[in-house]
């Protein structure tokens, strides 16, 4: 099959430039948003973990900046934190192929050396994946029922800094508050305000943190997305 047809046959989370005029039709295009994440320009010599990589845009970007990158993704579609009433909107085979096929194709075309681990965020530990100078976890915490446990597992594998991007509730209350959306499809369970996000980061055992940015992550087609915050946390 021609590469352009292979690209078209898959569902892409990210817009990735694969060279020679081939670009993936991502649900999102993160390229104009990159500066909001505060990823160091030079990652030479750094070991980086990209948690919940999807089609891998950030993993490949961090590799381009010099890092040795490991990317994680769920093994099976059913491993998501769905609610008990969840009913898939597509055949499981289609949903399952979304998890790995786009990443695998992009990795091959980009001649990337990013390593892939099929593991749930709740199982991250020095024993299961090792430790990393920098961990990167973007737009994953909103999909899990227990974001504190997820952050805690990230902290155990972070040596220098965790870059955490997540959906943030616009409530400016100084009190830690989270809106419970409880979405059965696992789309969004919790939307913390900034004070709550800081309290969760602290509860997970990080010693210091600062906000890097706030922005609204819109879809590639221009429709309105979720307001996000990026917090850098230090163990
Ligand atoms: C919204 S996408 C974000 C992709 C990418 N990190 C980014 O920011 O562009 C969320 C990703 O996290 C993965 N994910 C969801 N629940 C997870 C869990 N419990 N453990 C690990 N990964 C998970 C999903 O499969 C999906 O690829």
Asked if residues 200 and 147 have their Cβ atoms less than 8 Å apart, the reply is yes
Separation of CA 6 and ligand 1 centre (Å): 23
- Beta carbons within 10 angstroms of residue 126's beta carbon: 10
Q: What is the pLDDT of residues 49-90, one digit of tens each?
A: 999 999 999 999 999 999 999 999 999 999 999 988 888 888
pLDDT at site 185: 73
Report the C-alpha gap between 71 and 61 in whole angstroms: 12
> Average model confidence (pLDDT) for the chain?
95
- Beta carbons within 10 angstroms of residue 182's beta carbon: 10
pLDDT at site 74: 97
Name the band, by pLDDT with cuts 50, 70 and 90, for residue 182.
confident
Of 207 and 94, which is predicted with more confidence?
A: 207
Residues with CB under 6 A from ligand 1: 13, 30, 52-54, 57-58, 73-74, 80-81, 99, 120-121, 138-140, 143-144
pLDDT at site 85: 86
Kindly report each contact of residues 176-183 with a partner whose C-beta sits within 8 Å and lies 24 or more positions away, as own/partner. 176/200, 182/83, 183/83
pTM of this prediction exceeds 0.95: yes
Q: What is the pLDDT of residues 18-58, one digit of tens each?
A: 999 999 999 999 999 999 999 999 999 999 999 999 999 99
Atom 27 (ligand 1): residue with closest C-alpha?
54
Atom 11 (ligand 1): residue with closest C-alpha?
52
Res. 186: pLDDT tops 70: no
Mutational test site, ligand 1, from 36, 75, 140, 185, max ligand atoms within 8 Å of CB: 140
Superfamily of structural domain 3-234: Vaccinia Virus protein VP39 (3.40.50.150)
Beta strands in 24-138 (DSSP E): 47-51, 68-73, 115-118, 132-138
Q: What is the pLDDT of residues 110-156, one digit of tens each?
A: 999 999 999 999 999 999 999 999 999 999 999 999 999 999 999 99
Atom 24 (ligand 1): residue with closest C-alpha?
52
Report the C-alpha gap between 67 and 46 in whole angstroms: 5
């Amino acid at each position: 099959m021609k590469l352009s047809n292979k690209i078209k046959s898959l569902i892409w989370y990210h817009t990735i430039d694969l060279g020679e005029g081939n670009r993936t039709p991502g649900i999102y295009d993160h390229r104009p948003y990159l500066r909001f994440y505060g990823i160091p320009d030079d990652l030479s010599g750094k070991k980086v973990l990209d948690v919940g990589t999807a089609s891998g845009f950030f993993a490949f970007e961090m590799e381009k900046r010099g890092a040795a990158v490991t990317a994680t993704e769920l093994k099976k579609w059913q491993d998501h934190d769905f609610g008990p009433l969840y009913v898939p909107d597509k055949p499981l085979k289609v949903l399952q192929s979304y998890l790995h096929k786009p990443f695998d194709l992009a990795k091959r075309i980009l001649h990337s050396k990013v390593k892939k681990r099929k593991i749930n965020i709740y199982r991250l530990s020095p024993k299961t994946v090792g430790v990393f100078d920098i961990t990167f976890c973007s737009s994953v915490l909103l999909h899990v029922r227990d974001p504190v446990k997820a952050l805690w597992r990230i902290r155990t594998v972070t040596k220098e800094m965790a870059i955490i991007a997540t959906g943030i509730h616009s409530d400016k209350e100084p009190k830690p508050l989270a809106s419970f959306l409880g979405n059965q499809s696992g789309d969004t369970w919790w939307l913390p305000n900034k004070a709550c996000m800081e309290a969760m980061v602290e509860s997970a055992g990080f010693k210091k943190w600062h906000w890097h940015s706030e922005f609204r992550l819109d879809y590639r087609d221009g429709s309105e997305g979720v307001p996000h915050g990026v917090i850098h946390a230090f163990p």
